[in-house]
Structure 1
Amino acid sequence: MAVAAQKITLSSSRDIPFNKLALSQSNVRRVKAGVSVEELAESIARRGLIQSLHVRPVVDDGGKETGMFEVPAGGRRFRALELLVRQKRLAKTAPVPCVVSEAGVDILIDEVSLAENIERAPLHPLDQFRAFLALREKGMTEEAIAAAFFVDVKVVRQRLRLASVSPVLLETYAEDGMTLEQLMAFTVVEDHARQEQVWDAIKDNWAKEPWQIRRMLTETTVPASDKRAAFVGIEAYEAAGGYVLRDLFQQDEGGWLQDPILLDRLVSEKLKAEAEAVAAEGWKWIEVAVSFPYGHDHGLRELVGTPVDLTEEERATREDLRDEYDRLEANHAGADELPDAVDHRLGEIEEALRAFEFRPMVYDPAEIARAGVFICIDGDGSPLIERGFVRPEDEASADPDGEDGDGGGAMAGGVEPGSHQRAVITIGGEPSEPEDEDDEGDAIKPLPERLVIELTAHRTLALRDAVASNPRIAMTVLLHKLVLDCFGAHVSGCALEARVRDVHLPVQSPELGDSDSAKRIDERHEAWKRDIPLGQDDDRLWDWLDQLDQASRHALLAHCVSFGVNALYERPNPYSGTGISQQGLERRLREADRLAQTTGLDLVEAGWKPTVGNYLGRVTKARIIEAVREGAGDHAAELIGHLKKGDMAKEAERLLAETGWLPEPLRPTIEAQAVDGAADQDEDGMVLPDFLAGDDEGADDPVAAE
């Protein structure tokens, strides 16, 4: 016969006056942890006693109840109530909700206290984050939430930021798929799609530390410690509509600027304003950049100026600073370490004295009229202005008697000393754009020099690939060079001076390295590099070359010769031993045209297409319209004539995508003449394309003006 299981009987609950309660000595909690008693008392005063006390009757020696009750479970709540009574915010006889167990049960009172504490399941952090978010969505401010739970406002903001992470990642965290530190790292951006993309990329990798997550999430942003951000100023960036994302969980050195395009525009505008202010001093040219490469002033003559004299007041200030510095050093001469305030003051004095050493310079007005200035951003974000550099072509011309023409005569470029001239401001290698792009007029101005160099770099690389692919032409090119050396005017003391030098491409567009020509050249070079016994005995290399079959010898010769192809445009420099003369440049471009025609080079087949980045966004509206008219017809050109320059460039890219249109620097000379309908000739009868031909618009020509 089955025996019925005995039913459980739960302890009864009732209200007991507080003065009838006493804390049990069997309570297991001894170490303070978690919310303080004071904070718990404030919580009870605000919300009431949320959880009842567990009590047991106190009995005398005879086992009879005394009317008092001890509290084995709920000691912190008891102490919080006790604090409220002492503060006279709670009556001594106030009823307290209690669960009363029987005095004679077999369960030890210590067991009750231990079970009440260890069986309590802590709230998962994610539940707390979501609870804070729910309170804010119901109208509570961050300050009110912080006050209600006795935490700092920053803690509330951190919890709210964690709750705003992608729901997918929150569920991963809830299932212990990521750590809290990793979840914190994802709060540096608000884009859920980007957060999920980064997590998908690293979740199966061993390298998924929080710092790596932050680095991946912020790789397209600009840190506030960047010198560009310091130059513009965070307040100016935010006033222009920029957003700075802060990391609430770590030192972020000011956060990350989320709009690099806006920042670069603000940097350009501020640098241009600096340049306009310096231009008022009368300089001939001003080059502006975020930073200049090492050696940017090589080949230029630096003017020697005279420092501006100190005023009597400035001299007195300098002496006072020196005296203060010596006094502070003497007072702390025996100290192992200077006090922070003294160390800070000494640094301020050193900075002030340094300013007296680097005084503004005064230059000869005649020299200013032929010299220029470099303006960039220093490492600390301040503008760095380097004045007084003269280009070789701007040096004073000699008079008929052979003496220097500095004595008040006309200068190079036709500028009289003391006459007014407007400085040519170049930003990032390109002439400064007009203030209003819609007012630039219908005239087609010459292409910017930097753009011409970039375009001819594309042509040079494509020509190298074409020569390397045609050994017969490569052999002809080499023989042509050798014949010129043997029968021309270039006679030297060596038995044979046939040498191919890899021509450096100084100005490159970003996509040049990813072009089809570059990839084929790299693949071909790596294939030969694996076979050639380099770095070994020279005789072995000779034997290896000697044993190559004829086809391999021709292919290797073509590959090596191709590295010497140079179809680059560069500014002629007739006044220095470095660079190229105008005649040399014309010869180079004429031979490049001949080489392109002989190899059958087609830049369209080589992969070049006009885009906003490589051409259309770099030229005037008139140039864009002319390109569309040539490539897509008059009707297409009329359709985009009303657009703003940025939209016009994008639409032109679409219209020209499959037309095979090429700008002048990428066309053979004959084709350029046929398309443009007008060209000039040099003294040798050579036809020059419009983008290189001289005209009467020298003041507006960015190449000539520089």
Structure 2
Amino acid sequence: MTKAKTKTKLQNGPAPDAARPSIRIHEIRQIPLHQLFVDDANVRTIKNGVTIDMLADDIAFRGLLQSLAVRQLKDDDGQASGRFGVIAGGRRLKALQKLASEKRIDGSQTIPCILRDGENATDDSLAENVFREQLHPLDQFQAFKQLADQGLADAEIAKRYHVTEKFVRQRLKLASASPVLLDAFKDDGLSLEKLEAFCVTDDHTRQEALWQRMQDGHGMGAYAIREALLETSVEANDPRARYVGLDAYQAAGGTIMNDLFRDDSGPWLEDPTLLESLADAKITAEKERVLALGFKWADVTLNPREVKGLKRNLSQIPNLASGLSKDERAEERTLSTEFDALLEKGDTADDDDPFTKEDQARLDKIRPILIEFRNRPPKLSAKQIARTGVLISLEEEGDLCIEYGYLRPEAVKEAKKSADASGDTANSGDTDPEHSVGDALNDDDNEDYVRADNNPGAVIAGKAISDSLARDLTSYRTIALQNSVAQDFNAAFLGCLHALCSSLFRSGSYNSCVKIAPRELFLRGVVGLEKWTTYKEVQDRHQAWGDRLPGQGGAALWNALCALSNDERADLFAHCVSLTVDAVYGNQGRGSSAAHADLMAEAVALDIKAAGWESTTDTYFGRVNKDQIIEAVREAAPTKVALIDHLKKPVMAKEAERLIKDTDWLPPLLRSPYAQATPPVETSVNTVEETAAPLPAFLHGGLNGSAAHAA
């Protein structure tokens, strides 16, 4: 029984070694190139991968690295023809033939070939292509690194392997990643896209720390990886970085990160503290230079978004004359036109009209000249320089911006207090009580401030009212106009359209009182304005919309606007446009913006009396001289002038307020250019019957005393 079992096992065991097929290694022969042809059995027929030209150049550089697999071709009689068909290596053959046609090698050059028996040439060709394994990307990264370590330049590596220099730099960057990340990439635990994101920094410690977070369950995509590694850095397009300059930052020891895998961002500055200190030192030097000119104060900010807040409580001297000479102004216009043309060319460059290095060099040369022209101090008297301040800031492009002629609230209040005190001068009919306020904004003896004759509303009884009063009055009118525009979609729409068309088709947006930058108008230091009901209505409306809209912009704001009804959008649109309306001007010439404000006022049928305006001692009568008070009473209540013309100024102002309180009288700067008011009716002191007083002169004309429109 035992022997039988043993015999069975022997019969079922492995076959003897003699039964195994032998492995055949075919011989290698040197065959002349002109005897080699691509075999019909070669399965590679579709072009893919490296081109023949590139392969030919590589063979010319390093020689043939791999032999060809061929079979003997036979003639029609079945005899050897002396010709050989290449069943594996057809692309190498074509590259060799190209080199021969270019006389770079001889056509009789012998080529090492593996001679197959040719029994199944198609099978051999397919196997040679199917079982070929592509190089792992990590092997390529590390191979490029080895070549670079041997001293080969990026350009030379790129030339040898027919890739771009950027491709080589990207591969070298990936090869320099933390070994922990490279191991994860090799084991398919990390994608190529995420590895590229990690390489935004060269700091292996940070790379590995973030990788550990991901291993602990914090799943992150490539975008999140980049953001996490860049959260403490500053992008090079930051205004501070542009202002300081990358060269200066690096010279001070700062390091930079570059993302070689994204063209739309970077580089990044890794030391924001150093950048801040360099920017602060540079702008502080500008501050010291400006203060050395004699200005009272200078505020600086490195954040363009803070400029609006700095201006919130400041007033500025109007109509400051340029400090440039006539030739410099002409040069500025010429250079600005050229600069804008070059910027446009850079945005629209193509192969037919490329943006060249010379164009960039010209831009770099023009920019500092224009910045210096723009930041040149205006023409100011010594007195103006001594009492005004300067704002020094950065624009979004990193350009320095210096703005002159600002007054702080206490300076404006002090000037008005001095004006009120001077207004108490007894019986001095030719005294301008606001002269010192005007001085706070302008110097009357300065030739740059000659009063124009196209603002007659600022001249009453032969004397111009003060500039600050003119601005206060027109500030009230501006608020009333804003409030009316906010409630009239058609007027807001037309105002916006007018501003856009003025900018795009005519001489510029200055022809419109609607500043579609948008640039919100802030009115500060206007006597009594914050207590005015119309002002509060505008503020309450703004607060209501502010509470309703999301705190951030972008998609959140877009979605919120999309959710509004058409009526709500119209209301919001009108409100936003209204906040940009600027109809404030002084006692000098009225520009086209003021003229356009008249048209806007007509469009909304502005009625400032209905808006709540009252001519009081504080808002008007206490801020003009005695002749101007008498002129107001003469216009509103002609028969009552005798009741006040002998009074001293403070009492006269209060009495004028009382006499005019129940009339429709308005200061000329507040009068509508389109409406005709009903004349007041007065009772004569010498008759019993009520008779209508003569039509006051101010009702015969339009705004500022201009002729009324013909019916």
Structure-2-length-normalised TM-score: 0.50
Q: Which has the larger radius of gyration?
A: 2
Structure-1-length-normalised TM-score: 0.50
